[in-house]
Structure 1
Amino acid sequence: MGLVEDLYAEILENTYISGRLYKLVLRVPDKIIDRIQPGHFAMVKPSDTYDPMGRRALAVADIEEHRLIFYYEVFGRGTALLSRRKVGEKIKVLLPLGKRLFNYEGDKHLLVGGGVGLAGLTLLAKKLRDMGKKVFIAYGGRSREYLGMVEWLEKEGFPYELFTDDGSLGRKGYVTEILKEFPKDWVVQACGPKPMLKTIKRMGTGHKVYFSLEERMACGWGVCLGCVVKTAGGMFKRVCVEGPVMPMEEVVI
């Protein structure tokens, strides 16, 4: 695993945002920061015990100097324990993980994030902007409580549009509708729940589309085979090492 390191990182922030969303900020050595690219993720150990034994995969959402920023949702025991960790504590993380990262081809990029899936795209947005490319972000969720990263969008100044299923914030409807409004020369990068990705694939809009996949992971380095996805050729690939980013046409969802 060469450049991957398992280390203890200091918690600088671990705050509740809205809905089930939390923001986690960790201090890590500069030598790690320098290796992080959009698409990389970390395997975070929620507690210092073996209950739960496994770690949780979190996408690197942003980098600010010596700090790594993550967003996560509380669903089960592991993330519930993670949400209780305090500022100043040390938490074990394995990073940077993921070998197949985002493609920067094209001059115009539409980023489509569903819920916490937006955190898998935000570092990419900054990278594309630094490269002088045009970026538009579409961000959707069930209701306004599930759009907890709006503050990040406003702070960074990206053009964006919000969607909620119930119309409580932004446009009422599914975030996937945005694809109908952008010409085919926009490259689409998407991250979110499987129903959202399935809808994008079913729409067949003619865009070049890349998925940053979210799967349950136990190890993060390809040993446990818990994150495999079926490919169009009938084979299986591990999201952690043969992803997490894959062209839409390659994946069976």
Structure 2
Amino acid sequence: MAYQWNWGVLTSPVSTGEPTTYLGWLASGFLVTIELSLAAWIIALVVGSFFGILRTLPGAFARAVGTVYVAIFRNIPLIVQFFIWYLVIPEMLPPALGNGFKQLPPNIQFFSSAVVCLGLFTGARVCEQVRSGIMSLPVGQRAAGLALGFTLPQTYRYILMPNAYRVIVPPMTSEFLNVFKNSAVASTIGLLELSAQARQLVDYTAQAYESFIAVTIAYFIINAVVMFFMRWVERKTRLPGYIGGK
């Protein structure tokens, strides 16, 4: 039997009685994906930068802490980490905190667990990018900063990190894009992000092609915007003498 295309289903009222359309479901999932991914990226950038710096410090203990963080979060599958943060971690918290989390509305539980999980998972990847960026800089930069009387934290803050961030903009673009794509895994714990809304649309309408073509276009728009923004950042932050610099 030939497939019956029906793009009009997207603008049809949902059969659950909600005051919205199926396209409204997709739009809601689109916004959740954006919010989840941006919040997770902020966590990833902060945490990844911190541990990336630890992995380049002279002290063996600091480097070991960074290595353990990366080993844990990179070697456990993302889907497993989602279930750990949603189901296991609340049980390990003090009773007051754990019970407080369980009493939150389900959507807040799903979203907060997904943000923390995706942020820390991506942070391990950002950590390696930051470490690589710092290690790619000439050794003389650190020595020059210390010779000028800067403390080690000041050397990182004013010399190493500004240069390292400029060097790693291209690979960080890939990690930024991965956050949006990996956000689809959050549907496994119940979060109605973009891909979950698409599956829900298929369940109610049986119009699979229209649903997932619409979702594909939505992800393409997200990726195009991110690529455009990161290319602009790359042009504005290029360092003379480095790859891509003028």
User: Would you call these one fold, judging by a TM-score over 0.5?
Assistant: no
TM-score normalised per structure 2: 0.24
Structure with a larger share of its residues in helix: 2
TM-score normalised per structure 1: 0.24
